């Protein structure tokens, strides 16, 4: 793993949120009407079976405003590690609150309806760029450790930076040992430097890229070895700012994609409360809408787009070994090979020549929407036991 080592005496800048741009957006009068992906993912049908009840999700972010109409009663006590004025329920950016609503919002007051509307949120506020009153140093590792010590099963990390730190890595490993399932945004610089984004780049973390309404990888979504799954992340409503006077439409970023992936995991875990994080993730990978053609994992879509309905409604996906981490292969008791019969994922990545800018490419879109269509065939990978060990992440 190529790492940007930080000298011991150097100050490490705070993480940034993973929003794709700051372009002005129209105010959305009804946020729910802008959530196109809920219909595409058949959320209403899923909610008849699972709503995320009984699952707690830690949101490590800019804070979570627990008094919005959509989050009232959904937010539990968390912790503030940012050093900024206020508590974990003060969100000066509006970002953490948006992520929380995308995960567990009730939709009351024409607000955002979460993909897992009966899950509960535990907020852990960390220092982020744009937050006043912090010392601008990273407090992310403290927030991750606090989340790992909480009752949350899932940790959502819709933030990041292009630097590696031993403290952050140690915190991630600590959370993994505690059995937490971690999702993080891969970043929004695909058309620029496309640098690796931490914490998504740590091998124990599920890196989540963004797709658009057509099921194609978003132009801004970082690609490469750290993309495990993708989820909707374009044209999704968000709180305009920390004043909470209204929602803005047209929001986009791998931040939103990570939150929707976290909510999808909550739906599956709620139905199967006896599963481990490894089993939930293995089923998510197994049932993801695979890239139409090309190598799997694809460097743009990873193993594909999240489809919780395949597990919740169709009972698809083999949870497999509860002790084996599908990302690292560690802790397992059985041997298996990588999807598609290719064990050298670095070689696969080098052979993948599809360009993200090519709208006609076949590797940068998933089968999610066609599979949801009337009469469409569900594509299922079969044959043998699959292991989702991503050697190139290590």
Backbone angles phi, psi at 72, to 5 degrees: -60, 120
Q: Find the length of the chain.
A: 394
Query: Three-state SS string across 291-330, please?
Result: ECCCCCCECCCECCECCHHHHHCCCCCCCCCCCCCCCCCC
Measured distance CA(300)–CA(82) in Å, rounded: 33
Measured distance CA(297)–CA(390) in Å, rounded: 9
On the 0-12 / 13-18 / 19+ scale of CB atoms within 10 A, 54 is: middle
Beta strands in the chain (DSSP E): 16-17, 27-28, 56-61, 79-80, 120-125, 154-157, 159-160, 181-185, 206-211, 229-232, 236-239, 247-251
Measured distance CA(6)–CA(260) in Å, rounded: 32
Going by DSSP bridges, is the β-strand pair 236-239/247-251 parallel, antiparallel, or unpaired? antiparallel
Whether 95 is catalytic is yes
239 and 260 Cβ atoms separated by less than 8 Å:
no
DSSP 378: P
Whether 141 is catalytic is no
Residue 260 CA neighbour count, 13 Å, CB half: 31
The one catalytic residue among 50, 70, 95, 345:
95
The one catalytic residue among 255, 262, 270, 361:
255
Cα Rg, the chain, nearest whole Å: 19
Nearest Cα neighbor of 58 from 113, 93, 104, 91 is 104
56 and 153 Cβ atoms separated by less than 8 Å:
yes
Whether 61 is catalytic is yes
Active-site residues, by number, are 61, 95, 255
């Amino acid at each position: 793993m190529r790492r940007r080592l930080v000298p011991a005496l150097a100050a490490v800048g705070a993480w940034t949120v993973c929003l794709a741009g700051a372009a002005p957006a129209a105010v959305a009068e009804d946020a729910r009407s802008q959530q196109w992906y809920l219909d595409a993912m058949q959320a209403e049908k899923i909610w008849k079976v699972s709503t995320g009840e009984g699952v707690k999700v830690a949101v490590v972010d800019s804070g979570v405003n627990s008094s919005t109409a959509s989050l009232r009663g959904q937010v539990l006590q968390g912790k503030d590690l940012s050093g900024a004025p206020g508590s974990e329920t003060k969100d000066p950016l509006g970002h953490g609150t948006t992520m929380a609503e995308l995960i567990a919002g009730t939709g009351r007051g024409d607000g955002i309806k979460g993909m897992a509307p009966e899950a509960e949120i535990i907020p852990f506020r960390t220092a982020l760029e744009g937050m006043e009153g912090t010392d601008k140093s990273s407090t992310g590792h403290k927030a991750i450790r606090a989340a790992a010590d909480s009752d949350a099963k899932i940790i959502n990390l819709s933030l990041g930076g292009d630097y590696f730190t031993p403290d952050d890595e140690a915190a991630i490993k600590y959370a993994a040992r505690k059995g937490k399932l971690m999702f993080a945004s891969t970043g929004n610089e695909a058309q620029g430097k496309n640098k690796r984004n931490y914490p998504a780049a740590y091998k124990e973390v599920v890196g989540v890229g963004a797709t658009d309404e057509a099921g194609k990888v978003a132009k801004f979504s970082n690609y490469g070895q750290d993309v495990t799954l993708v989820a909707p992340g374009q044209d999704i409503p968000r709180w305009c700012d920390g004043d909470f006077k209204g929602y803005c439409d047209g929001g986009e970023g791998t931040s939103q994609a990570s939150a929707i992936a976290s909510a999808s995991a909550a739906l599956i875990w709620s139905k199967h409360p006896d599963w481990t994080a490894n089993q939930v993730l293995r089923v998510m990978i197994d049932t993801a809408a695979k890239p139409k053609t090309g190598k799997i994992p694809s460097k743009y879509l990873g193993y594909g787009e999240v489809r919780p309905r395949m597990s919740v409604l169709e009972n698809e996906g083999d949870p497999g070994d509860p002790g084996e981490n599908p990302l690292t292969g560690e802790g397992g008791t059985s041997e298996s090979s990588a999807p598609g019969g290719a064990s050298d994922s670095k070689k696969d990545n080098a052979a993948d020549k599809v360009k993200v800018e090519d709208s006609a490419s076949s590797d940068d879109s998933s089968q999610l929407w066609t599979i949801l269509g009337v009469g469409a065939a569900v594509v299922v990978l079969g044959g043998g036991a699959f292991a989702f060990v991503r050697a190139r992440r290590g």
